[in-house]
Amino acid sequence: MTTSARATRRWGPTARAASPAPGGRRGRRPREHQRFIFRWAFATTLVMTAGALATGALSL
């Protein structure tokens, strides 16, 4: 069974009519996505660094 046949069977005949934007962003601009992700990546880095300092895996 092909992908389009599987989508048609699962979601109906209009499943492929409303396709997302290229790259799967669904209308989100890359710059907005980068701003959002950077905040989470930076916060995650701080939490991991604090954990490494607390456990002694990283020393200053």
- For 9-57, write each residue's pLDDT tens digit: 555 555 555 555 555 656 778 888 888 899 999 999 999 999 999 999 9
Q: Considering the entire predicted model, what is its pTM?
A: 0.49
Looking at residue 31, what is its pLDDT?
86
Which range marks the domain in which residue 48 is found?
Answer: 26-60
Q: Is residue 48 part of a domain?
A: yes
HSE, CB side, 13 Å, CA atoms: give it for residue 59: 1
Q: How many domains does the chain have?
A: 1
**Contact (CB, 8 A) for 34 and 25:** no
Q: Is residue 50 part of a domain?
A: yes
Q: Is residue 37 part of a domain?
A: yes
Looking at residue 56, what is its pLDDT?
95
Q: Is residue 20 part of a domain?
A: no
Looking at residue 24, what is its pLDDT?
60
Looking at residue 1, what is its pLDDT?
54
Looking at residue 4, what is its pLDDT?
59
